[in-house]
Structure 1
């Protein structure tokens, strides 16, 4: 098994550009599968889950290649998110495995729900959804216990380098095997360059003096983006400040428990055939409580500010949930689809939206928090 895995990793390293292009193409195809044939949405989500899981494994292999190859020099420094999450993966095995299981659940939860909807009753399906949300909340609480810092989403580093820029490696090498020996010598100098002792004259553009700056602000605008910030020199695992007060801890715990409470109340309402807005309103209240309990951040806390900005943007998903979706958003989308069907170019996009509207009604994880 280990030999087959090593061969696959070697194949991945030597064909990383082709595999990356294939992953991107397959992800694009999944957007157009729903509504094309029976159970097309299941095939689409299963393919998406498979590609996301394989990409996570590929990223792990490529990260090992980058770490073990001293010749690799990235053109762009790693993002703060990548630095932070990779530091905690290397520091704590509990963080690494909890983050991996959490991401795998995030990739496969919709496929699991689709399978439950086809094989079991509605009550068992919602019980399975509550179990999934409970496991995810437990994993997030474990990450919170390990780091004592706000939980980033996703908890694993994302691929922030171009696979085509990886240095070439030997076909015999693999991250799971012993590293191969380095190249013994550099390429020989061509014969027509061996006796070329005469230097070329400098290009006119290099000898012409640069035009004078209009003001000092032009120099400052050029230098400020290249200046070091406090995040550039901090240890990677300390890019987020620890939660220090009870208010900080309470706000993060409320945010983590919010999806469990929302799914549990929805399951209760479906079991009793009630159409109350209790689940939606409770989730919104918990969202605002968590938001108001956040600590005040300094301008230098770039990573934490970006995480809170992402959480604020995610509140737009409430437009696709509960009574807000039924009474406001869905009629607007249906009206758009009807008007777009008469336009030549918008008709294609309208048809795509039309195929996705029933899926939002039928499945929890298309719009789940």
Structure 2
């Protein structure tokens, strides 16, 4: 098994740019599969889940390569989200595996629901959804117990490595095999660096100020490139710990909100009761949570993402049935005869029944 994994790793490293492009292309295809043939939605979601799981392994492999190669330097600064989540993954092994398990649950939850809908009764399917939400809530509480900080989504580092920037030394070695011995000879000087004693004559374009702009001072040029306090802050301090009872209550309510929503949805016949309960919990959590300081960019971005997720309530319950769906169907009908964008109408019509049938297409 280890030999097969090593061969796959070597194949990945030698074709990392091609595989990355293939992942993006296949992921785009999944948006057009629903409605094309029988069980196309199941095939589309299975392909999407498989791509996400493979991408998770690829990200882990690429990160391991970068850590083992002292010559590699990132072209762009590491995003603060990746810096924070990677620091926790390196510090605490339990955090790393729980965060990965939570992401795997998120990748496969819709696929599991589709299988349950085809194999089980409606009552058993909703029990399975409640069980999945219970497992996800437990995993989130474990992460909260480890970090004592607001949870980020996703809790693992996102891909921040350009495959084209991989050094050649990494491409010809696999992290699952013994590392190769570095060459003792010094690299040769590139030809365009050999004759560097002839001064470069400034051109008129270099001396003239940009058109339409006044002469820019050195301070104005350097100020956007200066390091901020967030850039030099220790990784684990990018998000401050929860301190007050109000902070803890806000985060606990936010974690329990999806589970309570599903539980109320399965008990009652009225979707509005579950929707209003979840929305009330959402607003309560939002009002209880602390105000992020200007220096905490990671926490502010997470809260901004949570605020944007309020739009998903337009795709649930009676709001979706009486308002959003008629609007979307009207738009699809109006653009159906338009050139070029008419194809978008067919995709919209194929996706509307999926929102009606499956919970995890618009899950909290």
TM band (smaller chain): over 0.9
Over 3 Å counting, the alpha-carbon distance change for 1:47 and 1:188 in structure 2 is same
**Residues 150-299 of structure 1: pairs in structure 2 closer than 5 A:** 150-169=150-169, 173-186=173-186, 199-205=197-203, 214=214, 218-269=217-268, 274-299=269-294
Would you say the 8 A contact 2:209–2:215 is kept in 1?
Answer: no
Over 3 Å counting, the alpha-carbon distance change for 1:111 and 1:244 in structure 2 is same
Which deviates further from its counterpart, 168-177 or 282-291? 168-177
Deviation at 1:177, TM superposition (A): 2.4
Aligned-CA RMSD value = 2.2
Match of 1:335 in 2: 330
SS in 2 for 1:20: helix
Would you say the 8 A contact 2:13–2:170 is kept in 1?
Answer: no
Deviation at 1:308, TM superposition (A): 0.1
Confirm or deny that 1:357 pairs with 2:357: no
Distance 1:268 1:208 in 2: 72
Distance 2:271 2:362 in 1: 18
**Residues 89-104 of structure 1: pairs in structure 2 closer than 5 A:** 89-104=89-104
Deviation at 1:66, TM superposition (A): 0.7
SS in 2 for 1:82: helix
Deviation at 1:184, TM superposition (A): 2.9
Distance 1:108 1:147 in 2: 25
Deviation at 1:309, TM superposition (A): 0.2
Over 3 Å counting, the alpha-carbon distance change for 1:179 and 1:96 in structure 2 is same
Structure 1 outlier segments of 4+, above 3 Å: 186-190, 196-201, 206-216, 218-221
Distance 1:265 1:280 in 2: 9
Over 3 Å counting, the alpha-carbon distance change for 1:131 and 1:189 in structure 2 is closer
CA displacement 1:286-325 (0-9 Å, x = unmatched): 0000000111222111110000000000010000001110
Unmatched tracts of structure 2, length 5 or more: none
Match of 2:130 in 1: 130
CA displacement 1:202-254 (0-9 Å, x = unmatched): 233399756599477x5444222211211111110111000000000000000
Distance 1:34 1:208 in 2: 55
CA displacement 1:336-362 (0-9 Å, x = unmatched): 111111212221011100000000000
Would you say the 8 A contact 1:34–1:356 is kept in 2?
Answer: yes
Would you say the 8 A contact 1:265–1:278 is kept in 2?
Answer: yes
Which deviates further from its counterpart, 59-68 or 177-186? 177-186
Distance 1:233 1:197 in 2: 38
Which deviates further from its counterpart, 323-332 or 157-166? 157-166
Deviation at 1:73, TM superposition (A): 1.2
Distance 2:199 2:229 in 1: 44
Unmatched tracts of structure 1, length 5 or more: none
Distance 1:184 1:23 in 2: 37
Would you say the 8 A contact 1:13–1:169 is kept in 2?
Answer: no
SS in 2 for 1:364: coil
Q: TM-score, normalised by structure 1?
A: 0.93
Would you say the 8 A contact 1:14–1:168 is kept in 2?
Answer: no
Distance 1:63 1:204 in 2: 42
Distance 1:96 1:322 in 2: 36
Report how many aligned residue pairs link the two structures. 361
Would you say the 8 A contact 1:27–1:48 is kept in 2?
Answer: yes
